[in-house]
Chains A and B, each alone.
Chain A
């Protein structure tokens, strides 16, 4: 079944669970939202609320799910094909863990190109390093020779080099310093404008999500408790009690200061 809407990602009645029978843990319960093509959508909530699990279900990393997931109007099945991976790419939280320690930046990027059958790897690597603001001297370096911010730039380059249209961002800056976080968030904003990308971003930091996204879903204990516009969020116009609590907790810190 294909739908006619122009959504980048649409999710209906999504349940994700781990374990069977009495050991079953419901990580996501009846999630529903859609991200318009070219839009930017945020998922916020505490750890264990299921926000990352939704991303993992979309990418096929959490195989036990039910419901409907549409990517560019096409429904996803049990497995992900090559076309899916050339449309959707993911940037993980920890740049220290998501890059292979014994592969150079060049190796990581060429492998992505090779897997997706791109030609002219040399030109593409030079260009993507430029685009993510890394000097060419980093091309033949290993991850341990890079700083956290540089590694996250490499992770973004690795995701974008195969020209996807949707980027899943799982806490892309939570392991970085605030000064570096500002640089990476600016980079992501610029890249989205240049390439008309669709972002689905997970973060526990409301200020970061508020900066990056136009709409957010608040998750608590596996359920989406509220979907609201960032404009309303800034005005503290939340309906749900949990959302209010979360908003207050993150704004209060600054007020007290």
Chain B
């Protein structure tokens, strides 16, 4: 397995009135043709990590890294113009909230066609046909109607499925999914995860799956990075997440209510200041096997 993506010593800083705030501190990880989960609470830096890969950190935010390499090519050396060719085409991203990601004054079909035609030479008719197929693939019941609808006519769950369709239509190599199923119902969530799973496998894509939901991540991913206060505190195989050792991971797992094991009071996470200063664990896989 060769690594699609390698990130070395990534740090993201934001200047504030009270000095420099380090949202992500010196983390390294790699992504093969696998499903990599990043979990943590809000503010742990997981979304910023996802955005850094696409160099989507706006000024005054500062992105520093030794290397962010996509198939051996260093993305940090690319110009903004070259980056635009990579975003969407090679690496695409599904953001947290479809309400803010979709253009409210443009028909859904036009937005999906635009995403497709930006990177592929295709006629309008071809793009339309492909878009409708893509909408079907994400289990939208009435793709023709949705194609001509505006985003406000969609529910949150539909909106997110449209986003996934739009992001997968240019056939990227890496998909960064930032809380893609948080807005969906459990039954639909499973369907959408299955679609993503199928696509990742069929196309040999790499997937970075950012989520706060430990159950979803452990069921769906191959490998997990657990982030706290901008650092990777633990990394493990996803199916072994429930055997995780770090007190933070344990705390998160224990604070979940469970249907089969009722308790009177839920365990509350006790934070330790040492977690913030401890060095990051490396999430890099050796690219040899």
Does A associate with B in a complex? yes
Cβ-neighbour of B156 out of A47, A230, A247 (below 8 A): A47
Q: Tell me if A46 and B252 are in contact (CB < 8 A).
A: no
Cβ-neighbour of A48 out of B42, B155, B242, B265 (below 8 A): B155
Q: Tell me if B190 and A182 are in contact (CB < 8 A).
A: no
Q: Tell me if A210 and B268 are in contact (CB < 8 A).
A: no
Q: Tell me if B257 and A47 are in contact (CB < 8 A).
A: no
Mask, A230-242, CB within 8 Å of B = 1, is 1001100000000
Cβ-neighbour of B41 out of A47, A177, A247, A257 (below 8 A): A177
CA of A186 to CA of B212 in the docked complex: distance in angstroms?
20
Mask, A173-193, CB within 8 Å of B = 1, is 000011111110110010000
Q: Does A146 contact B (CB under 8 A)?
A: no
Q: How far is the CB of B214 from chain A (nearest CB, A)?
A: 7
Q: Which of A148, A204, A207 has the most CB of B within 10 A?
A: A207
Q: How far is the CB of A201 from chain B (nearest CB, A)?
A: 13
Q: How far is the CB of A186 from chain B (nearest CB, A)?
A: 5
| Secondary structure type dominating chain A contacts | helix
* The stretch of B20-28, B73-81, B180-188 that contacts the partner chain: B180-188
Q: Which of B215, B255, B257 has the most CB of A within 10 A?
A: B257
Q: Does B267 contact A (CB under 8 A)?
A: yes
Mask, A33-76, CB within 8 Å of B = 1, is 00000000000001110000000000000000000000000000
Inter-chain contacts of A210 with B (CB < 8 A): 257, 259, 262
Q: How far is the CB of A192 from chain B (nearest CB, A)?
A: 12
Q: Does B69 contact A (CB under 8 A)?
A: no
CA of A208 to CA of B258 in the docked complex: distance in angstroms?
8
| Secondary structure type dominating chain B contacts | loop
Cβ-neighbour of A207 out of B242, B256, B264 (below 8 A): B256
Inter-chain contacts of B252 with A (CB < 8 A): 178-179
Q: How far is the CB of A241 from chain B (nearest CB, A)?
A: 12
Q: Does A211 contact B (CB under 8 A)?
A: yes
Q: Does B122 contact A (CB under 8 A)?
A: no
Q: Does A256 contact B (CB under 8 A)?
A: yes
Q: Which residue of B lies closest to A212 (CB)?
A: B257
Sampled A-B contacts (15; CB under 8 Å)? A46-B185, A47-B156, A148-B42, A181-B255, A182-B255, A182-B257, A186-B266, A189-B265, A207-B257, A207-B258, A210-B259, A211-B262, A211-B266, A253-B186, A253-B216
What 15 additional pairs, Cβ within 8 angstroms, besides A182-B255, A256-B219? A46-B186, A178-B41, A182-B266, A183-B268, A185-B257, A186-B265, A186-B266, A189-B265, A206-B186, A207-B256, A211-B262, A211-B266, A254-B219, A257-B215, A257-B239
B→A interface (CB under 8 Å) = 41-42, 155-157, 184-190, 212-216, 218-219, 239, 241-242, 251-252, 255-260, 262-269
Give the top 7 A-B pairs by smallest Cβ distance, nearest first.
Answer: A182-B255, A211-B257, A46-B185, A182-B266, A257-B218, A179-B269, A177-B41
